[in-house]
A and B are shown apart, each in its own frame.
Chain A
Amino acid sequence: MDDPKAAGRKARFEAVYTASYEPILGYVLRRCTSPDDAADVVAEVFTVAWRRLDDVPAGDAARLWLYGVARRVLARHWEKEARRRKRTTTLHPELRDELAAAADEFVDTSAVAQAFAGLSESDRELLRLVAWEGLGHAEIAAVLGCSAGTVRVRLHRARKRLSRRLHSAGFDTAPITANGGR
């Protein structure tokens, strides 16, 4: 416990945690509809980071690394969701309120949401990383573990597919108001 190495490790983790907790919480909340799910995923992401602290890169790259972890945890989470859902629901009143308050639009039935939902998950995630996390090509490449060139090409295609769907839904990809025309 008084081991200076352990203390150093803990201090490093705390720094990573403090710097990246909010972006990771945002990332997860945007992709989960239930506060219970979000709480589980956030906890798991940082548990992974604690276990694999030696693999976490320094500086802002840590955030990108954690987005990558969060992406995989979420994917696993959906697989296991049905199984886990029977275990615990409605049991976290405080966190529930906190997260519900942060994410107050659970259902989006707008034409934009539907067009978006029609894309493949990999297209959607690319577009989200740009629009939701504000990442550039190189950063997305770090999250997804591919080259920036690949990101550029795939992103271009994903945008085209979304525009096409929007057009066929009678939507013009013109600038719109802040609330997405809901």
Chain B
Amino acid sequence: MTSRHTDRSTDELVRTLARVRDGDVAGYADRPAARALLADITATPPSAEPARPVRSGRRFPRIAVRLAAAGALAAAATAGVAVVATDDQGRPRGPVPAVGSASHASEILDDAVAAAAARPYTAPGPEQWLYTKVRMKGAAEPSGAVTAGPYETKSWELWRRIDGKHQYAAYKDGKLVEPPAGENAPRASRFDPLPTDPDALLRKIGAIPGQPDELAFGTLLTILAENLHPPQVEATIFRAMQRIPGVTATEGTVDAAGRPAITLGLTAKDGWVRQEVLLDPETYRYRGERSFTVGDRTIEGDDGDDIVIKSGTLQYEQVRTAAAIVDEPGERP
């Protein structure tokens, strides 16, 4: 709606300050995250939730993560399979993974750029389908931070038509499920077409080149996970990672499927949670990602109890075990 006031120019100026227009979130009510929140809220009888704010502490985080988990389902349109060698509490075996150095990361990323740019590539036809197989592991119970499991693993196979005009078919844990309404494109596709200049790419995803930004790093991982990009685009994604300060690398990592991997990661500003992408050490293809705590932290539950989250506690991980172009939905490479 436009302003109905004479003082139009100040209103116009204020309007330019809005980061998001309502039109930008059109269709979000149909998204799985929104439907999951609705289900979450209405699952509680309103009378069972009296003035006392919440029954079990941490309401905000719980609901927020439920939202996130639902987004994950939709987006299970994503990637591959599980992952890190963890014990039954979800802690990585042995010490917390090494964090590595930034200069090492830059070298690794140089290699990744070269490998991506040299990768043989045949552009898929508009009516072909992108097939991905992913396993995701996260908290089985909604909660802000995973204290020590229990964890839940979900496997997804997804087919998305290249032209984006068709909803994907989705198999969850081996069963054909209704693709989530309104979710007819991967999340990262809103950034298409991806620029082939790394700074332009960073700006497009809301980052400022040269500034540490764990959100942007995570978005780049999603972009990698959800597609098989043309060589120049994939190389640009790696170049953009190189421009995010704080990204470090380690070699000799092993993913949960037991495959060797190279890991690039960024620890969040507050130094508590690290998110990492695992790449194939030969081809530098995306293999998966994970996030885990890198320091002990005590958080306060609303019931007043302290909750201790140990360093090295897995928060989330996913592995992509297959990604390929096929001719028909349902067809596996």
Contacts and interface: CB of A to CB of B under 8 A. Distances in A.
B64 A36 contact: yes
A78 B33 CA distance: 24
A131 B12 contact: yes
A162 interface: yes
Interface in B136-158: 144-146
B25 A89 contact: no
A104 B204 contact: yes
Contacts, number: 245
B17 A94 contact: no
A162 B21 CA distance: 22
A13 B14 CA distance: 33
A106 B219 CA distance: 14
Nearest to A47: B41
Interface string A4-31: 0010011001100110011101100110
Nearest to A161: B10
A40 B25 contact: no
Interface in B1-34: 1-5, 7-22, 24-29, 31, 33-34
B208 A40 contact: no
B63 A43 contact: yes
B100 interface: no
Contacts of A105: 19, 206
Interface string B144-175: 11100000000000000000000000000000
Contacts of A153: none
A98 B71 contact: yes
B205 A40 contact: no
Contact of A93 (B11, B27, B291): B291
A5 B36 CA distance: 22
Interface residues of A, number: 76
Given A39-B68, A94-B68, A106 B49 contact: no
B4 A136 contact: yes
Interface in B69-94: 69-72, 74-75
Contacts of A59: none
Given A47-B41, A90-B275, A40 B64 contact: yes
A168 interface: no
A165 to B, nearest CB: 10
A180 B17 contact: yes
B206 A87 contact: no
Interface string A96-115: 11101111111110001100
A47 to B, nearest CB: 6
A40 to B, nearest CB: 4
B278 interface: no
B121 interface: no
Interface in A74-93: 83-84, 86-93
Most buried by A among B27, B71, B74, B272: B71
Contact of B24 (A26, A46, A89, A181): A26
Nearest to A113: B17
Contact of B14 (A102, A130, A178, A182): A130
A50 B296 CA distance: 36
A44 B68 CA distance: 15
A22 B19 contact: no
B10 A173 contact: yes
B176 interface: no
Contacts of A89: 268, 270, 272-273
A20 B234 CA distance: 38
Contact of B37 (A42, A53, A107): A42
A105 B21 CA distance: 12
B42 interface: yes
A93 B78 CA distance: 12
B218 interface: yes
A174 B102 CA distance: 47
Contacts of B116: none
A40 B218 contact: no
B58 interface: yes
Contacts of A95: 33, 64, 67-68, 71
Q: Which 7 A-B pairs have the closest CB atoms?
A: A180-B16, A88-B144, A94-B71, A134-B1, A92-B68, A104-B206, A43-B63
Given A21-B34, A90-B275, 4 more contacts: A89-B268, A92-B68, A127-B10, A173-B9
Interface of A: 6, 9-10, 13-14, 17-18, 21-23, 25-26, 29-30, 35-36, 39-40, 42-44, 46-47, 50-51, 53, 83-84, 86-98, 100-108, 112-113, 116, 127-128, 130-132, 134-136, 155-156, 159, 162-163, 166, 173-176, 178-182
11 contacts: A22-B28, A35-B215, A42-B37, A44-B63, A50-B46, A90-B218, A96-B218, A97-B188, A107-B208, A135-B1, A166-B10
